[in-house]
Amino acid sequence: MKVVTAAQMQALDRRTIVEGRIPGIVLMERAGQGVVKHLEAQFGSSRGKTVTVVCGKGNNGGDGLVVARLLHRSGAKIRALLLEPVSALTRDAAVMYRRFMRAAGKSSIIPFRVEDRIRSLLAASDLAIDAILGTGLSTDVTGTYRDAINLINQCGRPAVAVDIPSGIHADSGSVLGTAIDASLTVTLGLPKVGLYVGQGIDHAGIVQVVDIGIPPSFVADVDSHVTLLDKETVRHSLPRRHASAHKGTFGHAGIIAGSVGKTGAAALAAQAALRTGTGLVTVATPASVNDVLEAKLLEVMTVPCPETDARTLSRDSLGLLIPFMQSKTAVAVGPGISTHSETVGLIRALVEHLDRPSVIDADALTALAGQTSLLAECTVTPILTPHPGEMARLESDATTQSVNADRIGIAGRFARRVGVVLVLKGARSVIAKPDGSVAICPTGNPGMATAGTGDVLTGMTVGLLAQGLPPWEAACAATYIHGMAGDLAGQRLGEAGLLARDVIEQIPYALQIFSR
Ligand SMILES: NC(=O)C1=CN([C@@H]2O[C@H](COP(=O)(O)OP(=O)(O)OC[C@H]3O[C@@H](n4cnc5c(N)ncnc54)[C@H](O)[C@@H]3O)[C@@H](O)[C@H]2O)[C@@H](O)CC1
Ligand SMILES: [K+]
């Protein structure tokens, strides 16, 4: 599904109304129906609930008035707060105002004047609906609008944002003055970029997308290079397990990983590859830590390699690692290998011999800082999986902050310039391909910001490569399923105590969801 800017969405809405001959009020009705559907899926039936709907003067407010009418019809007790006089409403919002008034009566509409009254109304509500500002937001929020947003945030009730949390810039995700902290955002037509970047991520809560009937041919014409990953796309790319399968059918992943003090990274990546369905996994690791891995890993094979005095892979490993890579279906390089200068030299030499599907991660990325031209030698497009700090090292003039300020732009430009598939990790990981287009992964949670989850992603990615997925499909599917497994683990354990190993344990359950 394409992800769009406010201007792109407004143009699509307009084209649908003018060329598609679907009146704005019909789109608004569908928007309201979609919001109610997702709201009830999340919070249960609205019958008997008290709901306060806060409406601005624009079409976002119009959507809110549809929600108010539909919830009233379902037996909820509704109060609609108008932030502006009725005369200021847009034409379509005014139509929805009249429809609501006819259905619920004038006493259900409350002008936003007396702050204390509003505060007590919100406090007595089960839910607040934020229909204050949508894609029409242009400047900092001030005055009554700011007061309304702050009162909703302070009331302690879950807020459902219509289209986008009011105050969030639909393109940049930045907060313009103040913004709603939504539990659920039901976005209309196509998802907006601002829900997946910057502060927008924290303010949006759960994001659901509602189809309001924009003709697919109009959507196809939108020039957006950003898409939102979804379950169906991932499902189509996953390997099938035929009845005649044997372990050779599902590939052999080679993982070059580990050093003293960092055998856990190798173990996590190897286990994650197996849990993702890979037939065979072999880890190449410094000789003196090999026994540790043998003890940790039952199903994984290991290859002890020559090492430095610091017990990291040495330059002498190259002669062994070249045939190691050539005998595997796919290769991962990097988890826990250290940044020892000799190991760095080894990785740079090794990359020139990468002739099969590969994932380059962690310390191997640091080894490639300022040396990404070496990747031109790879015969199959490699997948790089940096976190923002590693990304900043790869892009010499960047910092972690500047990377996070433009994750989509940086990922797309880097993937195009260097000719790689890039997974820029972090909240809402983005995956970019060599043509510069970018997918946003909606799965995952803050509990996954813990040691070792990156190694798990590397293992899952090489595992899918070994099973024959092309690099782009493998990167997208691994990132999505990694997030799903993390979400399942988070549901069971909560976020604070979640460990990388818990994510591995949930991979099979995440995969089961695809086979249903
Ligand atoms: N017909 C359409 O175009 C559709 C629009 N839809 C809804 O309409 C929204 C867009 O509607 P609008 O373009 O009317 O705009 P909004 O409803 O987002 O904004 C309302 C008004 O607020 C004003 N405004 C901008 N910044 C402000 C600020 N900082 N403080 C106070 N007021 C400010 C704008 O001038 C605008 O007129 C979408 O987000 C969506 O919810 C949906 O109903 C689907 C169809
Ligand atoms: K809103």
Residue 209 maps to which CATH number?
3.40.50.10260
Q: Report pLDDT for 114.
A: 63
- Among 8, 135, 168, 209, say which to mutate for ligand 1: greatest number of ligand atoms within 8 Å of CB: 135
Query: Which pLDDT tens digit goes with each residue over 12-56?
Result: 999 999 999 999 999 999 999 999 999 999 999 999 999 999 999
5 touches 226 (CB < 8 A): no
Per-residue pLDDT of 229-280, as tens digits, reads 999 999 999 988 778 777 778 999 999 999 999 999 999 999 999 999 999 9
Nearest 5°: the CA angle 81, 82, 83 is 115
Q: What percent of the chain has pLDDT over 70?
A: 99
- Element housing 185 (H / E): strand 184-188
Q: Which of 274-288, 366-380, 495-509 has the lowest mean pLDDT?
A: 366-380
Residue 166 labeled ligand binder: yes
Does residue 471 fall inside a structural domain?
A: yes
* Residues 6+ positions from 478 with CB-CB distance below 8 Å: 276, 423, 457, 460, 461, 463, 464
ipTM over 0.95: yes
* 240 in the same domain as 179: no
State the distance from the centre of ligand 1 to the C-alpha of 140, rounded, in angstroms.
Answer: 14
In the sheet with 358-360, reading across from the earlier edge strand, the strands are 226-228, 438-440, 430-432, 421-424, 383-384, 358-360, 330-333, 252-256, 280-286, 301-305
Distance CA 200, CA 193 (A): 9
In a domain, 317, yes or no: no
Question: Does 501 reside within a domain?
Answer: yes
Per the structure, how many domains does the chain have? 2
| Residues 468 and 507 grouped into a single domain | yes
Neighbours of ion ligand 2 (CB under 5 A): 130, 161-162, 166
Q: Write down the pLDDT at residue 19.
A: 96
Q: Are residues 218 and 352 in the same domain?
A: no
Ligand in closest contact with the CA of 24: 1
> Annotated binding residue at 501?
no
Give yes or no: residues 213 and 242 share one domain. no
Alpha helices for 276-333 (secondary structure H):
287-296, 318-326
| Mean of pLDDT values over 122-148 | 95
The verdict on 111 and 241 lying in the same domain is no
Q: Are residues 137 and 244 in the same domain?
A: no
User: Whole-prediction pTM value?
Assistant: 0.94
Ligand-binding site membership of 217 (annotated): no
Q: Are 251 and 459 in contact (CB under 8 A)?
A: no
Sequence-ordered list of residues with C-beta below 8 angstroms from that of 356, at least 6 positions apart, any chain:
325, 326, 328, 329, 330, 331, 379, 380
Give the pLDDT mean for 297-326: 97
* 494 C-beta neighbours (distance < 10 Å), count: 10
What is the span of the domain harbouring residue 146?
6-224
pLDDT at 246: 77
Q: Is residue 133 part of a domain?
A: yes
Residues 143-165 pLDDT 10s? 999 999 999 999 999 999 999 99
- Residue 138 CA: which ligand 1 atom is closest? 26
Q: For 50-71, give the DSSP string.
A: EEEEEE-SSHHHHHHHHHHHHH
Which residues are near ligand 1 (CB < 6 Å)? 13, 24, 27-28, 31, 56-63, 90, 133-141, 145, 162-163, 188, 212
For residue 46, give every residue at least 6 positions away whose Cβ sits within 8 Å of its Cβ, in sequence order, or none. Answer: 36, 39, 40, 71, 74, 75, 76
Residue 324 lies in a domain: no
